[in-house]
A and B are shown apart, each in its own frame.
Chain A
Amino acid sequence: MGVDLGVELAGLNLRTPLILASGILGLSGRLLVEISRIEDVGAVTTKSIGLKPRDGYPNPTIAVLPYGFINSMGLPNPGVDFFLKELDEAGSFGSPLIASFYGYSIEEIAETARIIASHPSVSALELNVSCPHVSGISEIGVKPELVAEAVSKVKKEVGKPLFVKLSPNTHLIVDVARAAAEAGADGLTAVNTVKAIAIDAELCKPILSGVYGGLSGPALKPIALRCVYEIYEEVEIPIIGCGGVSSYLDVVEFILAGASAVALGSVIALKGIMVFRELARGLSEYLERKGVRSVEEIVGLSHR
């Protein structure tokens, strides 16, 4: 029955290295629970949650291109208070729940982390400092010293594992990664979307109401893969690879580049939630074909 895909990730035990990425269907507690119970799902991540509710930007908030999506959702979320109530009523998770969160200042980040981590369903946190279309967020994520400050503040308040979601929109990504690790982060998620825009040639206008958005999907993959590769060379803590994964080979490539797990986003629009099954199967068959007994054996293998 194939190779066991279980991995250990910053203290979390995952059935498979396949994670639902933040912002993908992660608003409803009940739906998150449902997804977390799918056999091939390793962990699920919530939409990024802030201290206060946010409506996000008016539509259009997404543009579809032949090679990916550009979204400018603008971090719509119900705020921590409502979200925790939602989790109360959601039922029990079938795999670890990673709560993504953000804040506009170091203090707000720490406060949000403290509140969200207090919920028993939350297994780990993911700090989003990399949303490219909301001002006040992405600025933090490109400054190593600010990220370090945020991480150490959060780690002082919270005992649960903390991941930092990195922005590809900086040449300093490795410095940010190292700063996060040195400040005590337990893992890194690489990467968030690349800042982009879409223009309608008929109307001669930008399509997205927020003008700027983030590029995800297949076009992002080689960039995300490079980011994971670079970070793995320099930083010890585990990496969740993210960006454009659409086939099991993409999963394999991220792991070979140094990712311990992989998050799926845009592909879900194209293949549906059952894509987890397809990718888990493909990965398992690949490992079997290579005569490998666990995912961990091939993490970062392309560096050797």
Chain B
Amino acid sequence: MWRRLSVYPIDEEFLEKHRRRVTSIARRVDECIDTVSLYVPDRLSIDSTPGQFLMVWIPGVDEIPLSISYADGGMVGVTVRGIGEATRRLCSFQPGDRIGIRGPLGRGFTVRKGRSLIVGGGIGVAPLRYLVYRLLDIDAEVYVVFGFSDKLHTIFVEEMERLSSGKLIEFHIATEDGSYGFKGTAYDIASSIIREGFDMVYVCGPEALIRKILLLCVEWGIPMEASIEGYMKCGMGICGSCVRGVYRVCRDGPVFDRDKLMEMEEIGLRRRGASGIMEPLI
């Protein structure tokens, strides 16, 4: 019925992506004390690209953007850190609870063969986990550096360690307080191995990290892509809420290349909040 109605005038693919699909959570995995992965069956996400996101509707609470952290065999996963009302509520959800999703939305990472360095900080590792799998699928040489505040907040570590005994070339982990792995930040490790030469650097995490890696890649002349945040409302590129520089994060991003990130000027420094007022990030 839906299909018949949609032949004209709203593009069918667009409509399919943005119609909220209400589904029950199939699986929940606790990743650390404040972070949970939730999986729902979803046909549309099969063709998603790492870096793309879903708008996740928590009925009666909010609808928020979350990166796809896993997609395979008809299941899509998101990994959410409880930091406010919507994310905490989502972290309390159990199998059988219902959420609505639309997506996959936006432009993801360029999945390309070659020597790739993946740098993630905190919850920013969510889209990078999906990226690691897709890069390994095409036999890219993947080096991974993850950084967290402390051992209690590390996520996907066992998974990456398991992968690094197989196809993944190297996995490095840092914690700021040294309670696990190297004592320091993901930047510290990344900046020391970047001289080994890479074809592409992928980043997601706090914008201070993204900014530092961005400047490093400009200095070394290495192509780089980062997934950034903007305050999402429509998620379809018309309301203007998520705009950074002259780009819409929901539609032109959330993944941007080095040149666009430099052009935005504001990365790591400031971002618009819900009203559109620029707020400092530091």
Most chain-A CB neighbours within 10 Å: which of B11, B100, B233, B243?
B233
Size bin of chain B's contact surface: 35 or more
Q: With A54-B275, A56-B274 in contact, do A31 and B62 touch (Cβ < 8 Å)?
A: no
The answer to whether the Cβ of B276 comes within 8 Å of any Cβ in the partner chain is yes
Q: With A55-B274, A200-B100 in contact, do A26 and B10 touch (Cβ < 8 Å)?
A: no
Interface members, chain B 1-58 (any A CB < 8 Å)? 2, 5-6, 9-11, 14-15, 18-20, 22, 55, 57
| A interface footprint on B237-253 (CB within 8 Å = 1, 0 otherwise) | 11111010110100000
Q: With A27-B272, A269-B236 in contact, do A76 and B19 touch (Cβ < 8 Å)?
A: no
Q: With A60-B20, A60-B63 in contact, do A68 and B10 touch (Cβ < 8 Å)?
A: yes
Q: With A27-B276, A78-B276 in contact, do A64 and B243 touch (Cβ < 8 Å)?
A: no
The answer to whether the Cβ of A218 comes within 8 Å of any Cβ in the partner chain is yes
Bound-state Cα–Cα, A78 to B277, Å: 5
The answer to whether the Cβ of A59 comes within 8 Å of any Cβ in the partner chain is yes
The answer to whether the Cβ of A193 comes within 8 Å of any Cβ in the partner chain is no
The answer to whether the Cβ of B59 comes within 8 Å of any Cβ in the partner chain is yes
Nearest CB on A from B39, distance (A): 19
Size bin of chain A's contact surface: 35 or more
Interface members, chain B 157-202 (any A CB < 8 Å)? none
Asked if residues A61 and B233 are in contact (CB atoms below 8 Å), the reply is yes
Mostly helix, strand, loop or mixed at chain A's interface? loop
Indicate which residue in A66, A76, A268 contacts B15 across the interface (CB closer than 8 Å): A66
Bound-state Cα–Cα, A200 to B63, Å: 14
Q: With A58-B62, A61-B234, A76-B276 in contact, do A30 and B248 touch (Cβ < 8 Å)?
A: no
The answer to whether the Cβ of B98 comes within 8 Å of any Cβ in the partner chain is yes
The answer to whether the Cβ of A266 comes within 8 Å of any Cβ in the partner chain is yes
Bound-state Cα–Cα, A156 to B57, Å: 47
Nearest CB on B from A134, distance (A): 14
Asked if residues B64 and A25 are in contact (CB atoms below 8 Å), the reply is no
| A interface footprint on B78-104 (CB within 8 Å = 1, 0 otherwise) | 000000000000000000001010000
Bound-state Cα–Cα, A242 to B268, Å: 39
Asked if residues A25 and B240 are in contact (CB atoms below 8 Å), the reply is yes
| B interface footprint on A135-174 (CB within 8 Å = 1, 0 otherwise) | 0000000000000000000000000000000000000000
Bound-state Cα–Cα, A30 to B55, Å: 26
| B interface footprint on A246-269 (CB within 8 Å = 1, 0 otherwise) | 100000000000000000011011
Indicate which residue in B19, B62, B238, B272 contacts A59 across the interface (CB closer than 8 Å): B62
Indicate which residue in B11, B19, B63, B275 contacts A79 across the interface (CB closer than 8 Å): B275
Please name the residue on chain B nearest to A266 by beta carbon. B238
Asked if residues A218 and B275 are in contact (CB atoms below 8 Å), the reply is no
Asked if residues B246 and A31 are in contact (CB atoms below 8 Å), the reply is yes
Q: With A47-B276, A200-B20 in contact, do A71 and B234 touch (Cβ < 8 Å)?
A: yes
The answer to whether the Cβ of A13 comes within 8 Å of any Cβ in the partner chain is no
The answer to whether the Cβ of A302 comes within 8 Å of any Cβ in the partner chain is no
Most chain-A CB neighbours within 10 Å: which of B64, B239, B274?
B239
The answer to whether the Cβ of A1 comes within 8 Å of any Cβ in the partner chain is no
Bound-state Cα–Cα, A4 to B15, Å: 36
Indicate which residue in B20, B233, B238, B274 contacts A269 across the interface (CB closer than 8 Å): B238
The answer to whether the Cβ of A23 comes within 8 Å of any Cβ in the partner chain is yes
Most chain-A CB neighbours within 10 Å: which of B20, B243, B275?
B275
Bound-state Cα–Cα, A265 to B239, Å: 10
CB-CB under 8 A from A265, the residues of chain B are: 238
CB-CB under 8 A from B98, the residues of chain A are: 202-203
Bound-state Cα–Cα, A222 to B98, Å: 38
Asked if residues A65 and B10 are in contact (CB atoms below 8 Å), the reply is yes
Asked if residues B240 and A27 are in contact (CB atoms below 8 Å), the reply is yes
CB-CB under 8 A from A67, the residues of chain B are: 5, 9-10
Nearest CB on A from B160, distance (A): 32
Indicate which residue in A64, A77, A268 contacts B19 across the interface (CB closer than 8 Å): A64
Nearest CB on B from A67, distance (A): 7
Asked if residues B233 and A64 are in contact (CB atoms below 8 Å), the reply is no
Chain A interface (Cβ within 8 Å of chain B)?
Answer: 23-28, 30-31, 34, 47, 53-56, 58-68, 71, 73, 76-79, 82, 200, 202-203, 205, 207, 209, 217-218, 246, 265-266, 268-270, 272
List the 8 shortest-distance A-B pairs measured between CB atoms, nearest first.
A59-B63, A64-B18, A55-B274, A27-B240, A78-B276, A202-B22, A25-B240, A53-B275
| A24-B238, A28-B246, A61-B233 given; 14 more Cβ-contact pairs under 8 Å | A23-B240, A25-B238, A25-B243, A53-B276, A55-B273, A61-B234, A62-B236, A65-B15, A78-B277, A202-B22, A218-B9, A269-B14, A269-B236, A269-B238
List 11 contacting pairs A-B, 8 Å CB cutoff, sorted by A: A56-B233, A59-B55, A60-B20, A76-B241, A76-B275, A78-B272, A202-B98, A205-B59, A205-B60, A268-B238, A270-B11
